[in-house]
Amino acid sequence: MDAPGRRERKQQESAQHIAEVAMTLFGQHGYDAVSMEDIAREADVAKGTLYKRFPVKEAILAHHFQQDLQQLQPLIQQSLRNEPDCPSRLRAYFRQAALWSQRHRAYLRPWLAYRYARAFDPDVPRSGAGQALAALLAEGVRCGEIRNDIPLEELLLGLEYLHSSALMRWLSNEQVDLGQSLDHMLTLFLQGSEHPSC
């Protein structure tokens, strides 16, 4: 019998292969035009195997994006080290987030719908983006650049909701400039809605 480490590694390799095949098919034919049966056939896996690992197409997107975002986090963190303070690091982080979202716009609607439908599921793997934002905010609190009278968890939740709202507005209106919208979102988060002269 295989050791658990080997079995888990094989499952991860299979999931990665399926996701790569699916993303290729999505790119060639469009997300909506590709069925789970198409993916199983092209990946050369049994339909039962596919559905056991990925019950719906959106789960494949979630897996692919989780892997992609996890790989990007170290590069993003490296680029933030040159920023002088927490607000600057947050702005640089969301500039990177805007670029990533623009590259994946065609898939964001189904991915976000799937993600939010499972928002309270503790078993859903995370990309690490939330942890990165939490670390940025925690450092800002420690340095006195971010307020400390609101728990970090609530600060993070508020920022994530503002980000999601900006994304959904952008996805529903092609005229919206995502970079500018995220910059406005961050200004609202950092400074509130009170007029500067008040």
Q: What is the CATH number of the domain that holds 188?
A: 1.10.357.10
Range of the domain at 102: 57-198
- Render pLDDT for 53-103 as a digit per residue (tens, 0 to 9): 999 999 999 999 988 888 888 888 888 888 999 999 999 999 999 999 999
Q: Could you tell me if 91 and 160 lie in one domain?
A: yes
Q: Could you tell me if 84 and 154 lie in one domain?
A: yes
pTM: 0.84
The CA–CA distances, whole Å, from 142 to 74, 138, 152, 159 equal 22, 6, 11, 18
- The CATH number of the domain holding residue 30 is 1.10.10.60
Q: Could you tell me if 93 and 155 lie in one domain?
A: yes
Number of domains in the chain: 2
Tell me which residues of the chain have a pLDDT lower than 50: 1-2
Q: Could you tell me if 37 and 94 lie in one domain?
A: no
Nearest to 57, CA basis, from 14, 110, 20: 110
Backbone φ/ψ region at 146: left (φ over 0), alpha (ψ -120 to 50), beta: beta
